[in-house]
Amino acid sequence: MHAVVYDQPRELRLAEIADPVPGPGEVRLRVLVTGVCGTDVHLHDGEFFPVYPLVPGHEIVGEVDLLGEGVVEVAAGQVVALDNMLTCGLCDNCQRGRPAFCRHLRALGVTDPGGFAEYVVAPAGKCHPVDDLDLDTAVLAEPVACAMHGLDVLSLRPGSDVLLVGAGPSGLILTQLLRSGGAGRLTVAGPTPAKLELARAFGADYTVRFGREDPDLAVAALREIAPDGFDVVIDATGALAALERGLGLLREGGTLFVYGMAEKLARLPVSPYDVFRRELTIKGSFAQAFSFDRAVLALRTGRVRTGGLITHRFGLTSYAQAVQTVRGDRSCVKAVVEL
């Protein structure tokens, strides 16, 4: 089969490799579409613990093509969205209900062969049937599962006044989950007007342009919306400037939620006095856990709508271009590779 293969950071090739064969309890999927996300850009640069040679791609939708021994969960021909996280279920963290921190964690598209390939093999139990969804919707199951887990960790108090910074694909999914998940008022801030327009269409009450050029102007506009500060500020950008300003926009008892991946060495100055005196909370969420089926449900019911999210489409042969688009093209909301 054809697959994108990395032998080391930034060195990728379209290779002809052996078709994978499903073992007991596994299925082989013929990949239909795989989403390209920020994690793939990090993997391109060698970050996020890739194991080489690596076939990337972790937001996978495919058609069940071959069944391994004993598989009863799915049938050949079904279209499924794949939960790419492979956890042991036995280590201390798995047994504490923290599968994302499994001591033996593997992930398709990170440590094991993923979906930028014609075929991928995975445990049948990780396949979620999505025959009733169109592919542009189904391919968002994994990012929605991550956002759903974010909401689990946040445990939003109903009626909260929420500021979300970031209107990329994650931000636009969070916008919708926050809207239906109990935010009393939702303000979305981000640099790109077209994405803010989408945020409004997806349920944001207010949007504010928050660019690198004029952050203080944005803060002034946000202060006008919430003079006493927001109950919750969520950063879906990973930018230190957004986190710093977000911290300053919390009201008493507020929560700063770190959803975007910040630089590993970035440091946020926090006043312990404020944490004490103003009862502030800082939380974060990573990846997804026990949320994939609920993500598919939210897509199925339209709680999370996907129209307008996929702006760029590539083939396997132009994967390098897809990575560059996700990295630097402001007009790109979500890119996918179609097979």
Residues forming the site for Zn ion (CB under 5 A) = 37, 39, 87-88, 91, 94, 102
CB of 212 to Zn ion, least distance (A): 24
For Zn ion, the closer of residues 39 and 175 by Cβ is 39
Closest CA to 309 of 182, 231, 188, 194: 194
Using N-to-C axis directions, what is the helix angle for 169-180 and 141-154, rounded to 10°?
50
75: left (phi over 0), alpha (psi -120 to 50) or beta: beta
Nearer to Zn ion, 94 or 296 (CB): 94
Beta bridge partners of 30: 63, 119
Task: Tell me the sheet residues that pair with 335.
Answer: 36, 312
Which residue number, 168 or 254, has a Cβ lying nearer to Zn ion? 168
In the complex, what is the shortest distance from the CB of residue 324 to Zn ion, in angstroms, rounded to a whole number? Answer: 17
CB contact at 8 A, 12 and 36: no
* Residue 90 vs 220, nearer CB to Zn ion: 90
**How far, CA to CA in Å, does 205 sit from each of 219, 225, 243?**
17, 11, 21
CB of 115 to Zn ion, least distance (A): 11
By beta-carbon proximity to Zn ion, the closer residue of 37 and 296 is 37
DSSP 126: G
Q: Alpha helices of the chain — where are they, by DSSP H?
A: 38-44, 92-95, 135-138, 141-154, 169-180, 193-201, 215-225, 240-248, 272-277, 292-301, 319-328
Report the C-alpha gap between 134 and 302 in whole angstroms: 12
**Least distance to Zn ion, CB of residue 263, Å:** 18
Question: Minimum CB separation from Zn ion for residue 39, in Å?
Answer: 5
Nearer to Zn ion, 170 or 255 (CB): 170
Min dist CB 169 to Zn ion, Å, is 9
Which of residues 93 and 318 has its CB atom nearest to Zn ion in the complex?
Answer: 93
Q: Closer to Zn ion at the Cβ: 115 or 254?
A: 115
CA distance 213 to 314: 32
Cβ(320)–Cβ(116) under 8 Å? no
Q: Is the dihedral of CA 306, 335, 339, 27 positive or negative?
A: negative
CB of 42 to Zn ion, least distance (A): 10
Residue with tokens 């999914």, as numbered in its chain:
173
Using CA atoms, how far apart are residues 290 and 197, in angstroms rounded to an integer? 31
Smallest distance from the beta carbon of 162 to Zn ion, in angstroms? Answer: 23
CB of 335: closest distance to Zn ion in angstroms? 11
Nearest CB to Zn ion, comparing residues 87 and 160: 87
SS3 helix, strand, coil % of the chain, rounded to 5? 30, 30, 40
Pairwise CA distance, residues 32 & 184, whole Å: 38
